[in-house]
């Protein structure tokens, strides 16, 4: 471990840890819903492993008394994201596609192989970041959270956006490398490089567990 990384992780010793689970929903993690993305075998295994690791991290957080915040995409057909429609189809007024992810009330929006327990916070977002247009920041402040671990799907998109906003709003960020994934293993690796450069410290699920145990 480098001296800087040792100082970074060593500074996370006070109470105030939290886990942010981002978009581990059927639209993003269930192979049944991922066929249009044409993942190769390596990417498919990576996504499945990240879902399993996220579930382990949730169990570990609960056992350690670390609060879990569930950040989930909720696509509202009545309020389309016009800029996203333009980006994907070149048309601001393009109708919702048949494979639109996480439409509210559909199976794609359901959590996949892990789910919130009663009383755990759920934050429904409309875009990439769990902080944009939500009360996530206020909830973290009210809970006395001082640093966050981010896990979920996908590394280069909603995980990166949520982690980036977290540090910009003042929370040190740890990104759980084996509890995140993208639909291409090289893209996942490059996204982690960018996050390490500008956003947070990269750590495995086991290293996160050690931090949580150290602060209790």
Q: Which of 22-31, 36-45, 87-96, 114-123 is the least confident region?
A: 87-96
Residue-level pLDDT at 14: 57
Average pLDDT over residues 66-93: 93
**pLDDT more than 90, % of the chain:** 86
What integer is the mean pLDDT of 10-17? 82
Q: pLDDT at position 57, please?
A: 97
Q: Is residue 158 annotated as part of the catalytic site, yes or no?
A: yes
- Average pLDDT of the chain? 95
Quote the pLDDT of residue 62. 96
- Correct CATH for 3-76+103-215 of 3.30.497.10, 3.40.80.10, 3.90.1150.10, 3.40.50.850: 3.40.50.850
Contact 100, 106 (CB under 8 A): no
List CB contacts of 180: < 8 A, sequence separation 6 or more: 50, 150, 151, 152, 153, 154, 155, 159, 188, 192
Helix (H) or strand (E) holding 161: helix 160-168
Q: Across-strand partners of 147?
A: 17
Residue 22, pLDDT score: 99
Sheet holding 121-125, edge to edge: 121-125, 68-73, 17-22, 147-153, 173-181, 201-203
Residue 215 pLDDT exceeds 80:
no
What pLDDT, on the 0 to 100 scale, is given for residue 125? Answer: 98
The reported pLDDT for the residue numbered 98 is 82
pTM: 0.96
Question: How many angstroms from the chain centroid is the CA of residue 100?
Answer: 19
Block residue for tokens 């980036």: 164
What does the pLDDT look like over 152-175, one tens digit per residue?
Answer: 999 999 999 999 999 999 999 999
> If pLDDT is split at 50, 70 and 90, which confidence band does 120 have?
very high
pLDDT score of 144 more than 90: yes
pLDDT of residue 216: 56
Catalytic one among 158, 163, 166, 179?
Answer: 158
Map out the domains of the chain as residue ranges. 3-76+103-215
Lowest mean pLDDT among 17-31, 92-106, 107-121, 196-210: 92-106
What distance in Å separates the CA atoms of residue 121 and residue 20, rounded to the nearest whole number? Answer: 10
The yes-or-no verdict on residue 86 having pLDDT over 80 is: yes
In percent, how much of the chain has pLDDT > 70? 98
Instruction: Please tell me the distance from the alpha carbon of residue 198 to that of residue 80, in angstroms, as a whole number.
Output: 31
Helix axis angle for 205-215 and 41-64, nearest 10°, is 10
């Amino acid at each position: 471990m480098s001296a800087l990384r040792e100082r970074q992780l060593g500074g996370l010793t006070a109470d105030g840890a939290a886990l942010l689970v981002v978009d581990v929903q059927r639209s993003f993690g269930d192979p049944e819903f991922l066929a249009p993305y044409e993942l190769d075998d390596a990417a498919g295994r990576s996504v499945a492993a990240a879902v399993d690791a996220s579930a382990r991290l949730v169990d570990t957080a609960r056992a350690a008394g670390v609060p879990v915040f569930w950040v989930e995409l909720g696509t509202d057909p009545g309020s389309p994201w016009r800029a996203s429609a333009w980006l994907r189809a070149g048309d601001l007024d393009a109708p919702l596609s048949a494979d639109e992810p996480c439409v509210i009330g559909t199976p794609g929006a359901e959590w996949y192989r892990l789910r919130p327990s009663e009383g755990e916070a759920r934050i429904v977002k409309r875009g990439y970041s769990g902080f944009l247009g939500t009360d996530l920041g206020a909830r973290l402040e009210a809970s006395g959270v001082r640093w966050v671990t981010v896990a979920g799907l996908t590394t280069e998109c909603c995980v990166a956006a949520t982690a980036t906003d977290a540090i910009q709003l003042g929370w040190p960020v740890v990104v759980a490398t084996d509890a995140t994934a993208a639909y291409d293993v090289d893209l996942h690796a490059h996204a982690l490089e960018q996050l390490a450069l500008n956003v947070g410290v990269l750590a495995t699920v086991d290293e996160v567990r050690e931090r949580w145990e150290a602060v209790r």
